[in-house]
Structure 1
């Protein structure tokens, strides 16, 4: 029996969908079971807890505080990265002496692990002998040491700054790929018509870069939302849980407090949040194509 040609695309993607489904759905099933069970700190199910874990999680004020900080963290890092990556990409896309060296310098934070970057950042922000304090005192901006990571009002902004540094190389790479895909004859035609650089940027570069900006937004949002090393390596969510985001709150629930069932509930909540965001992004992308 001859298989209809309409089924060929589905047959081709079926193996990938099957593997992806197993990788994603099986852990979700396990999390679902743990979320309605009584679990000891070693992850062993010792009874049925019903909806008790859900009640405890949603009654915990730290869930809402961590959720708000996660929103600020994600928006701060993603928007800050976009605002810096676009002009940097435009500059690196131009021909100038030393462009190769400049590109390497921008990519350097990508060459080291996120945990190592966070540790270097913690050293630089040290309240006694940190590089930042030494620099500020050398420039006579301040005369006293500032404990950047010991106070909530300074720790979280500095962590967002480290997040931007970590995310910038990947975003610049995406934007450089987008800029290199734009045909040069479009710019030549705009120049012949008398368009200045600002007009060219607004009418040509930005519209053609929109798909790459969308890709950067969705990938960076998922990446930053789940980013653990920077917060944990610098403050471990302190002082007094003032820099906890959902992923560090999840880690503490599971491995510090031994509340594995509640951690499973929080994992499902985080999955649903990212799933909703991804669905919205896919719908928007499909509407733009149509």
Structure 2
């Protein structure tokens, strides 16, 4: 009972910080809101109807799912490989770890500005490098086409997400007991067998943390897409968070923006709850 009393103020504050904004979102989503932010009468779910009937919302929602799946999946694969390498003992390992983690200390907006400069079709460093290597014959306007721009954004999203995920995996790998590997090798187990039967099962909690946190961060990621294209050309790279920004601050549709915000919150909450439940069920069955 005593520990509960100690954490009760923190729980109350956390509940207020979370519950109050969600309640306000619900209230705003059900009412007509003027362009100047004045909340008026109930509008019989007109905001929901407007959002769900908007083809731009539908496209942004589908694009958000692909964006999240591809960036998170690519990040997990790359970060796992890098973490396994950095967990081995070799000369310069400490420096290599610092180099991998260094981009994490830089603002994502700043990194995206640098990438925008590098992707410039006329003076960008990427075109210059690829021409020097003989990979392309002339400048490529990377952000002029929706499909090309979105692919580039996914690659950038993976690159900027690797340091954080690698840190999680390295923390997990460093906590694994070495005597298990020694015992397995004494029994004649190969490196692959040790990885499959020891590393993968014991790293599962860290993988779960990485998946949940990366899905939340990537799904809500705003700077990469906004700084590079602002959702263009012709809204072809919009995801839900940039679509939300446009309808709220560019078009002044605050009621519809509240609906989108509420839907994003519900989606992420449902994903986290469902995923953690499935993970807990698998652990219990094991």
TM-score range, shorter chain: over 0.9
Deviation by residue 1:167-223 (Cα, 9 ceiling, x = unmatched): 111100000000001011111111111111111111111111111001000000011
How much does 1:116 deviate?
0.6
Distance in 2 (alpha carbons) for counterparts of 1:134 and 1:106 = 25
Structure 1 residue 253 displacement after superposition: 0.6
Per-residue deviation, 1:49: 2.2
Alignment of 1:1-290 (within 5 A): 7-8=1-2, 10-290=4-284
- Give the Cα–Cα distance (whole angstroms) in 2 for the partners of residues 256 and 180 of structure 1: 48
Q: Who is 1:4 aligned against?
A: none
Q: Distance in 2 between matches of 1:106 and 1:27?
A: 37
Q: Distance in 1 between matches of 2:5 and 2:282?
A: 27
Distance in 1 separating the partners of 2:103 and 2:43: 45
- Equivalenced residue count is 284
Contact preservation (8 Å) 1:38, 1:45: yes
CA positional deviation for 1:29: 1.2
SS at match of 2:252: coil
Whole-angstrom CA distance in 1 between matches of 2:226 and 2:43: 30
5+ unaligned residues in a row in structure 1: which ranges?
A: 1-6
Structure-2 separation of matches of 1:181 and 1:266: 41
> Displacement, 1:42?
2.6
2: CA distance between counterparts of 1:221 and 1:254?
24
Check whether the contact 1:148–1:158 (CA below 8 A) recurs between aligned residues. yes
* Contact map agreement 1:109 1:165 (CA 8 A) in 2: no
Question: What is the TM-score with the length of structure 2 in the denominator?
Answer: 0.96
How far off its partner does 1:15 sit? 2.3
For the aligned residue pairs, the C-alpha RMSD in angstroms reads 1.3
- The C-alpha deviation readout for 1:123-170, integer Å capped at 9, x for no partner, is 111111111111110011111111111111210011011111111111
- TM-score, with normalisation over the residues of structure 1? 0.95
Q: Check the 8 A contact 1:41/1:254 in 2, yes or no.
A: no
